[in-house]
Structure 1
Amino acid sequence: MAGGGIADGGPGKRAHLYEHRFTPYFAFTCFVGALGGSLFGYDLGVSGGVTSMDDFLKEFFPKVYRRKHTHLKETDYCKYDDQILTLFTSSLYISALFMTFFASYLTRNKGRKASIIVGALSFLLGALLNAFAKNIEMLIIGRIFLGGGIGFDNQAVPLYLSEMAPAKTRGAVNQLFQFTTCAGILIANLVNYFTEKIHPHGWRISLGLAGLPAVLMLIGGILCAETPNSLVEQGRLEEARRVLEKVRGTKNVDAEFEDLKDASEQARAITSPFRTLLKRKYRPQLVIGALAIPAFQQLTGNNSILFYAPVIFQSLGFGNNASLISSFITNGALLVATVISMFLVDKFGRRKFFLEAGFEMICSMICVAVVLAVKFGHGEELSKGISAFLVVAIFLFVLAYGRSWGPLGWLVPSELFPLEIRSAAQSIVVCVNMTFTALVAQLFLMSLCNLKYGIFLLFGGLIVVMSCFIFFLLPETKQVPIEEIYLLFENHWFWKKIVRTNQDFEASNGKPAIV
């Protein structure tokens, strides 16, 4: 057996015999799974708006409030540079980073559904603590519980969607997670726009409303089915077949069910999935799916804009309402772009979206940096024309990200790994993603203060590196069954040298391989 853990006649070899039809039951399970994105998205959108609200700053960060209004007429990169204020945002992602390892154990042993339910409960508790916070400590503890919810749901939901979806529509189905993430961001910006006018506790409403998607997620998690993959992995074969027939809309699931059983047998033979993940044959998946793409997704700079859009626009001289409206517009672009990606990613493929959108993102970052270098930071407010140009440039950047690194940053890792290491790999994906999310959230305002317009050039340069990585090292995965993904690496110009076993190497040229 060479490659991704699939021998001849093993999982994936019957993929051409798979059948499926759309059913309401399948739609419901996908909707429930995708709700996990709304938890993530609402928090992404709400935190930046809340940290720019005067009532919130007066109660918890009076120094930032005074600095903001002392320089009200001065364009100042450093208005919001406060490490405790940014800890309010980043603490959630630090918590998610640690909780994902507990989520991996629960997801593997008790199923994807269990992790979804635990995540919803944790997020609900965090929302309540934040809504009734009396001090910074209570705020941070609430954020830690929110992070726990995100750690569990981000670990389980992409797996849930990938395993429920037929191979031919897996890209679109998996992107429901990104779609509801974007919808959550957009709704959060809309909520902030109205609650900013409710004094003095509008910010409490914004933070407390995070409990609503958590309640929906909890109810849906209780009612939805476990994935057939997980049920087979737990030895619940009859139930697994019933669920598979229900989600596929046909009784003719013999081929797919046999593949699931074969994959499960191999998965049960794995006693240490994290150690197994380090084996040579999984090295391409580890490097691409678990390390590079999750890190790159955050290093595009887009989440800096999502976290701090109102703060950024206020720093650039926009008023409170103008900054919230501008961030609402840019986050609207994210939602539109995700819809575009959902409908087209299984037609055009992952690589084309990464590369085409990457070029647009680089151009947008250069435009923003050049305008800021020439027109900003001289103690004068930006003109309406320049301000409009910046909004358009950021809008185009977010539009490109929203159909590439945003959804594909979750989709591609979720489809690269075979069943025996899938939950362990997904925990690494979330861990790396949350590590870089926390770093970006914690360091962005300080970097904006010190690097000024150079921060946008830095992001542009990083996107050049990412695009080269995709061009040379990522094979196209569209419409390829998950259990056949390993074949892409066995035939890839670079990765085939990495995954080749000693026997393969000796058979090809009679020389020993270095493992």
Structure 2
Amino acid sequence: MDTRGSTPVGGLPPDSAGPHSRRLGIIAVVATFGGLLFGYDTGVINGALEPLKDDLSLTAFTEGFVVSILIFGAAIGALVGGRLSDRFGRRHNILLLAGVFVVGTLGCVLAPNWEVLAVFRFVLGLAVGGASATVPVYLAEVSPFEKRGSLVTRNEVMIVSGQFAAFVINAIIFNVWGEHQSVWRFMLLVAVLPAIALFIGMLRMPESPRWLVAQGRDDEALAVLRQVRSPERAEAEMAEVYALAEEEKVSQTGGTTDLSVRWIRRLIVIGVGLGVFQQFTGINSVMYYGTQLLADAGFDSNSAIIANTLNGLFSVLGITVGLLIMNKVDRRTMLIAGFSLTTFFHLLVGLSALLLPDGTAKAYFILVFVVLFVFCMQGTIGPLVWLMLAEIFPLKIRSFAIGICVFMLWIANAAVALAFPPVVNALGIAPTFFVFVALGLLALLFITTQVPETRGRTLEELEDQFRREYS
């Protein structure tokens, strides 16, 4: 039976439009404030770093430590956040993370020295990592399968929008209060507003119906489904979720013991591969060090700062295009296309740096190819990896497994972020991007041989498919 498009899946009636559609939209907006905070807190340090270095007298080592400590915190936050989400609920975890965002932000703003700043940057990292592991799961579990791709991808839209907003807000604040030595504190303080909005908003949002079923709270789960589905669809979907939950109780899934189950172990390997190869595209080397990269390419300092804003702009444009086509193209097709395009533009950046003479033309060629890389990456690989991580794992191990995968994603992120500046300094732009080409080819091999298709199937159908195919 065809399970794609608008065809009912597994006997489920179509999810017709109604008041529940608006409610689902509100839930998505509120929950993705976690993604906005993710983006802002990872992007704001870029513009705040220069005044911060002067104010707190950072050395080269302490500068790198303060920047990278958030990434390591995020890796731990993803791992711990997944377990907390499984135990206490997706909504509860997002509320907790909103509080951690507030505490971490205020601690950074008030930090008297770099040591205290590093501690609270680590706290912010815990919140960023927890949000990266929890929000996509929450959105996937409240969404009907027909809209799951677009709704989960909204979180990635908010992440890149948060990064772009950080670039713009930093520029505005610096132009208004740039003479103040502590101007960087104002830049960081802005993040308190979306954190408060997330906390207040989530107080009125429902818990994940699938998590409620896993806890035996069937009446509450049905009540939530009735809020976000048509009446007929809510009843039918509840029956399917309940049947799967009962099956999982028999198989006793839900923790580290599941790593001994062959088909679950195979899915975790796929998830880890997706997360690591997403980071090995080098997207965050561009988002963290884009200005430095463009200066090395031949732009002067002022031009590099201005040109770097194009990376933020085209990041937002790319994710917007990805959102529009997400539910119309198969996941595997988009991943293969995405890795093919990013690898191609890596090659062009490397060849431009290697073959073109130093000068304005070389700088602009590299700028264009880097911007096109960012656009293609954020329109395909970026959102698809987060979406597929939210789709491929069974219910009772979903957050735990995503925690493992996102932990490895953040470790890969940290490795690229720490290695990129010294590698470019030692080898130059061309060899560095040729390394990204080699990693892109490995990613294509992995996608074509290991990654399953998930579009157009309910979460329950996917689990049944994986259990049969990988056991």
- The question of a shared fold, defined as TM-score above 0.5 by the shorter chain, is answered with yes
Matched, 1:127 2:127: no
Whether the aligned pair in 2 keeps the contact of 1:365 and 1:397 (CA below 8 Å) is: yes
Whether the aligned pair in 2 keeps the contact of 1:170 and 1:479 (CA below 8 Å) is: no
Normalized against structure 2, the TM-score is what? 0.91
RMSD: 2.2
Give the Cα separation in 2 of the matches to 1:479 and 1:152. Answer: 28
Alignment correspondent of 2:55: 59
Give the Cα separation in 2 of the matches to 1:47 and 1:413. Answer: 28
Unpaired segments of 5 or more residues in structure 2? 1-7
Give the Cα separation in 2 of the matches to 1:403 and 1:363. Answer: 15
Label 1:60 to 1:367 Cα distance change in 2 as closer, same or farther (>3 A): farther
Whether the aligned pair in 2 keeps the contact of 1:118 and 1:152 (CA below 8 Å) is: no
Alignment correspondent of 1:478: 455
Matched, 1:85 2:66: no
Alignment correspondent of 1:429: 405
Give the Cα separation in 2 of the matches to 1:475 and 1:99. Answer: 27
Matched, 1:30 2:28: yes
Label 1:429 to 1:62 Cα distance change in 2 as closer, same or farther (>3 A): closer
Matched, 1:339 2:311: no
Label 1:61 to 1:395 Cα distance change in 2 as closer, same or farther (>3 A): farther
Identity of aligned residues (%): 27
Label 1:96 to 1:267 Cα distance change in 2 as closer, same or farther (>3 A): farther
Pick the aligned partner of 2:137 from 135, 143, 159: 159
| Cα deviations by residue, 1:114-172 (Å, 9 ceiling, x for unpaired) | 11111111111111122222211121111111111112211210101101111112111
Alignment correspondent of 1:379: none
Alignment correspondent of 2:384: 408
Give the Cα separation in 1 of the matches to 2:154 and 2:95. Answer: 18
**Structure 2: which amino acid aligns with 1:245?**
R
Alignment correspondent of 2:445: 468
**Structure 2: which amino acid aligns with 1:470?**
I
Matches within 5 A, 1:220-239: 220-239=201-220
Q: Which runs of 4+ in 1 moved over 6 A?
A: none
Whether the aligned pair in 2 keeps the contact of 1:164 and 1:228 (CA below 8 Å) is: yes
Whether the aligned pair in 1 keeps the contact of 2:43 and 2:162 (CA below 8 Å) is: yes
Whether the aligned pair in 2 keeps the contact of 1:334 and 1:402 (CA below 8 Å) is: yes
Matched, 1:389 2:387: no
Give the Cα separation in 2 of the matches to 1:164 and 1:110. Answer: 17
Q: 1:16 aligns to what SS in structure 2?
A: coil
Label 1:278 to 1:459 Cα distance change in 2 as closer, same or farther (>3 A): farther
Normalized against structure 1, the TM-score is what? 0.84
Give the Cα separation in 1 of the matches to 2:220 and 2:58. Answer: 57
Matched, 1:241 2:196: no
Give the Cα separation in 2 of the matches to 1:98 and 1:252. Answer: 38
Whether the aligned pair in 2 keeps the contact of 1:15 and 1:256 (CA below 8 Å) is: no
Whether the aligned pair in 2 keeps the contact of 1:48 and 1:310 (CA below 8 Å) is: no
Whether the aligned pair in 1 keeps the contact of 2:214 and 2:396 (CA below 8 Å) is: no
- How far the C-alpha of 1:317 sits from its partner, in A, is 4.7
- How far the C-alpha of 1:232 sits from its partner, in A, is 1.6
Larger deviation, residues 382-391 vs 150-159? 382-391
Larger deviation, residues 473-482 vs 272-281? 272-281
Whether the aligned pair in 1 keeps the contact of 2:169 and 2:187 (CA below 8 Å) is: yes
Alignment correspondent of 1:209: 190
Pick the aligned partner of 1:111 from 77, 85, 89: 89
- How far the C-alpha of 1:201 sits from its partner, in A, is 2.6
Give the Cα separation in 1 of the matches to 2:117 and 2:292. Answer: 19
- How far the C-alpha of 1:186 sits from its partner, in A, is 0.8
Pick the aligned partner of 1:194 from 172, 176, 190: 172
Give the Cα separation in 2 of the matches to 1:266 and 1:437. Answer: 37
| Cα deviations by residue, 1:284-326 (Å, 9 ceiling, x for unpaired) | 311112x100111111101111112223334445344423322
Give the Cα separation in 1 of the matches to 2:225 and 2:161. Answer: 29
Q: 1:287 aligns to what SS in structure 2?
A: helix
Label 1:15 to 1:96 Cα distance change in 2 as closer, same or farther (>3 A): farther
- How far the C-alpha of 1:84 sits from its partner, in A, is 3.0
Structure number with higher helix proportion: 2
Give the Cα separation in 1 of the matches to 2:123 and 2:11. Answer: 41
Label 1:321 to 1:204 Cα distance change in 2 as closer, same or farther (>3 A): farther
**Structure 1: which amino acid aligns with 2:459?**
I
Give the Cα separation in 2 of the matches to 1:220 and 1:319. Answer: 44
- How far the C-alpha of 1:14 sits from its partner, in A, is 3.8
Q: 1:443 aligns to what SS in structure 2?
A: helix
Give the Cα separation in 1 of the matches to 2:254 and 2:236. Answer: 28
- How far the C-alpha of 1:62 sits from its partner, in A, is 5.5
Give the Cα separation in 2 of the matches to 1:295 and 1:344. Answer: 24
Whether the aligned pair in 2 keeps the contact of 1:298 and 1:433 (CA below 8 Å) is: yes
**Structure 2: which amino acid aligns with 1:16?**
L
Whether the aligned pair in 2 keeps the contact of 1:18 and 1:253 (CA below 8 Å) is: no
Matched, 1:361 2:347: no
Pick the aligned partner of 1:48 from 21, 46, 49: 46
Alignment correspondent of 2:294: 313
Pick the aligned partner of 1:176 from 150, 154, 161: 154
**Structure 1: which amino acid aligns with 2:106?**
L
Instruction: Say how many residue pairs are matched.
Output: 457
- How far the C-alpha of 1:96 sits from its partner, in A, is 1.9
Pick the aligned partner of 2:266 from 279, 284, 290: 284
| Cα deviations by residue, 1:93-126 (Å, 9 ceiling, x for unpaired) | 2112223333223211211011111111111111
- How far the C-alpha of 1:473 sits from its partner, in A, is 1.9
- How far the C-alpha of 1:259 sits from its partner, in A, is 1.5
Give the Cα separation in 2 of the matches to 1:320 and 1:224. Answer: 46
Give the Cα separation in 2 of the matches to 1:50 and 1:334. Answer: 20
**Structure 1: which amino acid aligns with 2:447?**
I
Label 1:157 to 1:452 Cα distance change in 2 as closer, same or farther (>3 A): same
Higher Cα radius of gyration: 1
Whether the aligned pair in 1 keeps the contact of 2:297 and 2:362 (CA below 8 Å) is: no
Q: 1:19 aligns to what SS in structure 2?
A: coil
Whether the aligned pair in 2 keeps the contact of 1:83 and 1:442 (CA below 8 Å) is: no
Whether the aligned pair in 1 keeps the contact of 2:297 and 2:353 (CA below 8 Å) is: no
